[in-house]
A and B are shown apart, each in its own frame.
Chain A
Amino acid sequence: MSLWEYANPVKFLRLSERVLPALWVFAGLCVATGLIWGFFATPDDYRQGSTVKIIFLHVPSALMAINAWFMMLVTSLIWLIRRHHVSALAAKAAAPVGAVMTVIALATGALWGQPMWGTWWAWDPRLTSFLILFLFYLGYIALWEAIEDPDTAADLTSVLCLVGSVFAVLSRYAVHFWNQGLHQGTSVPVATGARTVSDVFFIPLVICMIGFGMLFVALVLYRTGTEIRLRRTRALLARGARGA
């Protein structure tokens, strides 16, 4: 019994069908608990006021935005090396989830930045890296949509994911370099504030992070199932067309 057994689409579907209901419930409970706790039951920060409540959305979604790309990188590698279809389809299924997480992170960040920094957007390294990450997601999704043959699409998007990862990391360092070059001596206080605070904020934040993580896993499993079904439909239709 090894993990590779679940590279078989039928086994994967059977397992995910068994796991998903519990996963949905657990993810929903965690997200709901974390967010309700964070929204209703946390005090205001003495410096940030009530905007501190935004981190319960911002940090988990940012975390998942990066983890989603990392997961796509791993599944792309598995597809390129071992050619398990489930792996390629899981990467395809994860991309829109990651893109939405990136948008949530950017939107909540902008909404927090407006009162705190006095601007919706600053070309701060972190913000800029996330915007670039979003562009990578867009390109990746667009490439999946554009290619007709599913196996070629899986191949090419995997290569794009690998090369894109390298360039995403490069961009991150380039952006750090670039902004230091622009604003010598000034820094935008990203790392300060709520991130190092007491348990009052930390516990609901951890619950939210677990919840977003579980939600991501559930969504990817669910969407991978959809992709497997689409693939099988296509195969059946192709066989039917050949037979007729």
Chain B
Amino acid sequence: MMPELGKYAFEVLSAYGVSLLLLAALLGLSIARDRRARADLRHAEEETRRNG
């Protein structure tokens, strides 16, 4: 299953690892931020409806 990477295994694997990690972090942060924004918006909308 695992391809034979030869003497460059470390470089290739870490390149894939670092990149996927960075992409995952970006995705995770974006999702967390969006969740928070949605929750805040819902909260603010309820607040205005109650007051207004």
Contacts and interface: CB of A to CB of B under 8 A. Distances in A.
A114 interface: yes
Contacts of B25: 100
Contacts of B8: 49-51, 115
A226 interface: yes
Contact of A108 (B19, B27, B38, B51): B19
Chain B facing A: main interface SS: helix
Interface residues of A, number: 40
22 contacts: A35-B16, A50-B4, A51-B11, A54-B11, A54-B12, A54-B16, A58-B15, A96-B29, A100-B26, A107-B19, A108-B15, A111-B12, A111-B15, A112-B11, A112-B15, A222-B30, A222-B34, A223-B33, A229-B34, A229-B38, A229-B40, A233-B43
Interface of A: 35, 39-40, 44, 49-51, 53-54, 57-58, 61, 96-97, 100, 103-104, 107-108, 111-112, 114-115, 215, 219, 222-223, 225-227, 229-230, 232-233, 236-237, 239-240, 243-244
Given A54-B11, A108-B15, A227-B37, 5 more contacts: A96-B29, A115-B11, A223-B34, A230-B40, A233-B44
